[in-house]
Amino acid sequence: MTQLQKVLYTGKAHTSGGRDGTSRSSDGRLDVRLSSPGTAGTGTNPEQLLAAAWSASFIASIKHEAEKLKVSLPASVSIDAEVDLAGAGGIYVIRARLNVTLPGLEREAARTLVDAAHQACSFSKATRGNVDVAVNLL
């Protein structure tokens, strides 16, 4: 495990009720109702939240890697993230696809950025070896 030098930020949330409950961040910026996937509930679910958080972090990593490599990024960098909840041998697992769009960049340069971002992204690191992940350059 990597030795931490300095904690930059700690996200805090209070969740009650599980998949059919609520979750609220300590600063109130996040305040969501939760619903199990496929139910009639009106809330979001952990898989959607992970897809949003991971893709935001991944885009930040792409931007950081582009700065290091002195590559100019298009303003329309985007990721369509998909997080599956699946059953495997009586347990639940997740798998993910990060579908990255970097319009206007040469394919080789875009692939270099995406590969470097996948190595640097904190969510990619946290799931590496535990979650089946496909990073697709569209």
**How many angstroms separate the Cα of 49 from the Cα of each of 2, 103, 138?**
26, 25, 22
Site of tokens 């609220």: 24
CA 48 to chain centre: 9
How far apart are alpha carbons 66 and 13 in whole angstroms?
32
Does 50 share its domain with 40?
no
Does 37 share its domain with 78?
no
Does 28 share its domain with 88?
no
Task: Report residue 81 as tokens.
Answer: 């993230």
Does 33 share its domain with 49?
no
How far apart are alpha carbons 104 and 110 in whole angstroms?
9
Does 72 share its domain with 32?
no
Does 107 share its domain with 130?
yes
Does 38 share its domain with 50?
no
Does 94 share its domain with 40?
no
Does 39 share its domain with 83?
no
Structural domains of the chain, count: 2
Residues forming beta bridges with residue 114, ordered by sequence position: none
Task: Report residue 24 as tokens.
Answer: 């609220």
Q: Report the CATH number at residue 101.
A: 3.30.300.20
What are the residue ranges of helices labelled H in 7-131?
46-69, 107-120, 122-127
Does 56 share its domain with 83?
yes
Does 90 share its domain with 128?
yes
Give pLDDT tens digits along the chain (138 positions): 678 789 999 999 999 999 999 999 999 999 999 999 889 889 999 999 999 999 999 999 999 999 999 999 999 999 999 999 999 889 999 999 999 999 999 999 999 999 999 999 999 999 999 999 999 999
pTM for this model (two decimals): 0.93
Contact 120, 65 (CB under 8 A): yes
- Domain limits for position 71: 45-137
Q: Report the CATH number at residue 17.
A: 2.20.25.10
Does 40 share its domain with 50?
no
- CA contacts within 13 A on the Cβ side of 51: 21
